[in-house]
Structure 1
């Protein structure tokens, strides 16, 4: 993969004159208009005693917001935390479910597949894989998001050009980094996030707090980049918390929100004149953004803290009196002026085929997780436990049948817990990435799911194989190839079932602490019902063994070692049938086919549950 990327990079440099320019004009300009947008959520209030006294109340997050943004304009949404900025941005991006009222139109049409493919959405948190380099991150994104009308070489050229245009050339071979891995700076990470969206040359670009946590110089650089993008005929909308005065005067339009109410929407350079006209002026020269934030918090010169609510009400009333009707009139006028974007039917549901998505996601996943899958710590703990078990059960014989049976049950227990807890972390850790990429229509859920499951298999199967090779012969189990490979097959099948259970629990709960607790309880239940600890199980709970992974694994491991006609020394000059041994008698040495079928049903069933659980993640439409 690295060689392929180097080749593509060299080809890109040799064809540099053909490389796309991300600052060129938008292919399909988009006029965005939103009218009377209202969003409500239900909040449950519990009574003093809970239960009967619980009530649900409705809270309005957005309260009738109307406006428009034309191609070539950059709209900045200002307001304190909780004012509704991000909620409105999410609504404009077609990603908000629930009780959304009013209309959001793109060139006079509602949200569609065509619009999704023509829109870039940059979230506040930079959701990126920490162990991929800048080049790899953008290259894999290009392979997934750009259509098949372009070759892989042309997609690589797009990625290279985005790197160049966004000033990322110096760090293009550096890893992204994360909380525990040193990588590129915060500003560079933000530009990579923007670059991922710019690959598709979107006509509408939405950004949530693109300058959050950055110094003023870096913030200036990013907003200047966005201004250039808007100058190319794009429609740019962003939320921003507290811009400097230099940044503020770059915005074509400003929307000021307070508790979901619009207080101003209009030209950025006209905002101070508007508030002066209604009696609100700063006493000293100050950053307009700071003044607007004071107003949205209800703080005005000469007003006491008790008057905060009245200031907000006064500003909201002034907006309705002075601006609301004019803005609605502007929105109505826009309807007759817009030109339609490309028809939805001209866009296929996906940019690439299922197989392309699968292979790219598999390569990306292996590259990102190889440090974790092949970590020395994980290999070391398995090898240490294997040698310890081999020494404890060193060359056990049929005369010590109890010991051999105990080893086989240890197999089923250890290789039930280990893969389960490895797999539980899979989907909760990737939830934000899955939500981000699926919301932009990057790939099918099925291609992601299969690439994730198959990508983890090599290490999931290599470690138990090493474990069996070490312990099997050290413990003196039957050395014939048939017995060894049957034991290995059963254990690997059990590992894949345990992995499926971990995937299902992680996908269903999506909370690591809750999922690990639930996984522990389930596996302990399976072990207790496995047939080793308790021989006389009460009838009302005996059914648990039929859903126990440990029970079927233990049974099949016993059948891989022993047959019903074998005997073992059970006393001086006395031999007893193996199947009469208490722990073996409880499980039985018959119905091998049913045991295998039960594990195969679990193998498929747990993964199906995981897939169905993932369907609720990431896509509101």
Structure 2
């Protein structure tokens, strides 16, 4: 819990927020950046040049380097920085100038442009923010996990930014004396309160006046943290000391001046996005396409899976004839094709889309791009994959099974199954957007699909659907795809071989379709229904994603 926390950071200064573990450093930064957990109650305001700012305005004027790295792992360092330059630099900066700044940064950091993001050094997340040249930067433990040399290197970069007139605020945990000397001011926190805010020299003077002078030849940072820590064996006395220090600072001349200087004026509003809608669209689409194409193992596995399953179905149902047994087998094979395309594409979307959601949410809340831009680009980038997969699948199994041999019938089957695959993809997006993580999506996905499968017309005749579930059957892509493929297969089949003693054998294709309560006249309606479900599920997925990312700007 934080109580009466006030502070001020000036342009041209590098401010360190320090304190023992649990002092409230990260909580303070998250509160300043409007990124607190919904369970955290916050009162107060963030003021910029005397004006209260909203989350959107602050996002457009600042950068926030968080502790954990989230990125698209298949992109190289260069590609990642190019994307950052496209969506985060001011929209009035020409493309050529952005790329030159990107190249300069890569050269300065000696980064291997072909190094994957997975090999990106933790401290290097700071340098992507340097590229955007923000007037205000917040860093949460930027030196975490780095050796002393790299830590000093990172803080030196922050110091260089501050020397250019930027305002840089960073939490840091037990810096070395060399790193500590780079900071202009320090904000010490303890038990959720401000124990001191001022220059490093003023800090030593303040604690000396309190009768707790820092010993000579001792790292002041280590001393301050130890002094303000709560030791389990002396918890009461430590808390009394902390309360005394915090109260003294709050009533000191520096503390009263800070309280006065942080009084707000009127609101300052600004768009959170630096890039235009079209610039965001181009950049996110480029990155989405690169990320899709740079998943060679995943794409190869999906193609191999498609080949093997298509071949397996073709072998099992090989060479069906137009007789009583063939009718049942052909209808079963058609339904298996639909079922496989559904589950394969739903799970493919869930595994990829859910994994990228944390990256999207962070970048969106940082004001990099809009929700509609991300969703639209993700959809467009993956369209080729979700067209190629069903084409390969049906091309293998169609003639092996012995379905209607005409080329126009084959291409109609390809079209129907492609629509089916994309309905499943849209449904996968919807499940992903309403789920909090991959495990939840994979858990709720199959049970939700089962009712749609049951109302597909193969396992349960359409005439037998209970009246109270009739509405659900109208949302079943299994039903529309099954009817369309059966029409494509049996229309024009005037004769089916039947034995004289078998009176239940369908005599022609019309009887086969009507037995399932389908109709040849419904083909166009089936195709339009599949197209409508693609749009409908995508729209619901977008609304679900929007609701998860909505906040007032």
Deviations 1:432-466 (A, max 9, x none): 22122212222222121111011011111101101
Deviations 1:82-122 (A, max 9, x none): 32211211222344475421222111112255543321211
Cα displacement (A) at 1:335:
7.1
Structure-2 residue corresponding to 1:518: 444
The DSSP-based 3-state class of the residue aligned with 1:101 is coil
The number of residues matched between the two structures is 541
Cα displacement (A) at 1:486:
1.5
Deviations 1:111-144 (A, max 9, x none): 2555433212111112222222222211221122
Quick check: 2:51–2:265 contact (8 Å CA) kept in 1? no
Question: Kindly tell me: are residues 478 and 409 of structure 1, through their superposed partners in 2, closer, same or farther at Cα, counting changes over 3 Å?
Answer: same
Q: Which has the higher helix share?
A: 2
Structure-2 residue corresponding to 1:321: 248
Equivalence map 1:482-493=2 (5 Å): 482-493=408-419
Structure-2 residue corresponding to 1:394: 318
Equivalence map 1:23-42=2 (5 Å): none
Structure-2 residue corresponding to 1:121: 64
Residue 591, structure 1, aligned to residue 534, structure 2 = no
Question: Kindly tell me: are residues 242 and 428 of structure 1, through their superposed partners in 2, closer, same or farther at Cα, counting changes over 3 Å?
Answer: farther
Deviations 1:526-576 (A, max 9, x none): 222322223455555455433222222212111111138744223238762
CA separation in 1, counterparts of 2:550 and 2:137? 19
Residue 225, structure 1, aligned to residue 157, structure 2 = yes
Question: Kindly tell me: are residues 582 and 481 of structure 1, through their superposed partners in 2, closer, same or farther at Cα, counting changes over 3 Å?
Answer: closer
Question: Kindly tell me: are residues 513 and 157 of structure 1, through their superposed partners in 2, closer, same or farther at Cα, counting changes over 3 Å?
Answer: same
Q: Which has the higher strand share?
A: 1
Residue 153, structure 1, aligned to residue 84, structure 2 = no
Residue 459, structure 1, aligned to residue 385, structure 2 = yes
Equivalence map 1:283-432=2 (5 Å): 286-299=218-231, 305-331=232-258, 334=261, 350-372=273-295, 375-399=299-323, 400-432=326-358
Q: Aligned match of 2:533 in 602, 617, 621?
A: 602
Deviations 1:11-65 (A, max 9, x none): xxxxxxxxxxxxxxxxxxxxxxxxxxxxxxxxxxxxxxxxxxxxxxxxxx32111
Cα displacement (A) at 1:320:
1.6
Quick check: 2:486–2:513 contact (8 Å CA) kept in 1? no
Identify the range of structure 1 (315-324 vs 395-404) with the bigger mean alpha-carbon deviation.
315-324
CA separation in 2, counterparts of 1:248 and 1:217? 13
Structure-2 residue corresponding to 1:450: 376
Unaligned 5+ runs, structure 2 = none
Unaligned 5+ runs, structure 1 = 1-60, 178-182, 300-304
Identify the range of structure 1 (578-587 vs 504-513) with the bigger mean alpha-carbon deviation.
578-587
Deviations 1:292-348 (A, max 9, x none): 33333323xxxxx44313312331233223444534532366479x9999x85xx76
Bigger relative contact order, structure 1 or 2 (CA pairs below 8 A, ≥6 apart): 2
Quick check: 2:490–2:512 contact (8 Å CA) kept in 1? no
CA separation in 2, counterparts of 1:505 and 1:80? 41
CA separation in 2, counterparts of 1:600 and 1:153? 41
Quick check: 1:107–1:339 contact (8 Å CA) kept in 2? no
Instruction: Tell me the TM-score normalized by structure 1.
Output: 0.80
CA separation in 1, counterparts of 2:477 and 2:447? 13
Cα displacement (A) at 1:613:
1.6
Quick check: 1:262–1:316 contact (8 Å CA) kept in 2? no
Structure-2 residue corresponding to 1:18: none
Residue 71, structure 1, aligned to residue 11, structure 2 = yes
Quick check: 2:76–2:115 contact (8 Å CA) kept in 1? yes
Question: Kindly tell me: are residues 307 and 407 of structure 1, through their superposed partners in 2, closer, same or farther at Cα, counting changes over 3 Å?
Answer: same
Question: Kindly tell me: are residues 571 and 503 of structure 1, through their superposed partners in 2, closer, same or farther at Cα, counting changes over 3 Å?
Answer: same
Identify the range of structure 1 (282-291 vs 471-480) with the bigger mean alpha-carbon deviation.
282-291
Identify the range of structure 1 (355-364 vs 368-377) with the bigger mean alpha-carbon deviation.
368-377
CA separation in 2, counterparts of 1:412 and 1:446? 30
Identify the range of structure 1 (136-145 vs 108-117) with the bigger mean alpha-carbon deviation.
108-117
The DSSP-based 3-state class of the residue aligned with 1:255 is strand
Structure-2 residue corresponding to 1:533: 459
Quick check: 2:58–2:272 contact (8 Å CA) kept in 1? no
Structure-2 residue corresponding to 1:41: none
Deviations 1:502-536 (A, max 9, x none): 00111111311111111111222322232222345
CA separation in 2, counterparts of 1:72 and 1:283? 30
CA separation in 1, counterparts of 2:104 and 2:195? 40
Quick check: 1:118–1:200 contact (8 Å CA) kept in 2? no
Cα displacement (A) at 1:469:
0.9
The DSSP-based 3-state class of the residue aligned with 1:547 is coil
Question: Kindly tell me: are residues 294 and 590 of structure 1, through their superposed partners in 2, closer, same or farther at Cα, counting changes over 3 Å?
Answer: farther
CA separation in 2, counterparts of 1:251 and 1:619? 36
Instruction: Tell me the TM-score normalized by structure 2.
Output: 0.90
CA separation in 2, counterparts of 1:222 and 1:349? 27
Cα displacement (A) at 1:396:
0.9
Structure-2 residue corresponding to 1:572: 500
Residue 171, structure 1, aligned to residue 112, structure 2 = yes
Structure-2 residue corresponding to 1:104: 46
Structure-1 residue corresponding to 2:147: 215
Quick check: 1:558–1:584 contact (8 Å CA) kept in 2? no
Identify the range of structure 1 (587-596 vs 243-252) with the bigger mean alpha-carbon deviation.
587-596
Question: Kindly tell me: are residues 571 and 292 of structure 1, through their superposed partners in 2, closer, same or farther at Cα, counting changes over 3 Å?
Answer: farther
Quick check: 2:349–2:425 contact (8 Å CA) kept in 1? yes
Structure-1 residue corresponding to 2:491: 563
CA separation in 2, counterparts of 1:560 and 1:438? 45
Question: Kindly tell me: are residues 331 and 279 of structure 1, through their superposed partners in 2, closer, same or farther at Cα, counting changes over 3 Å?
Answer: closer
Aligned-residue CA RMSD (Å) = 2.9
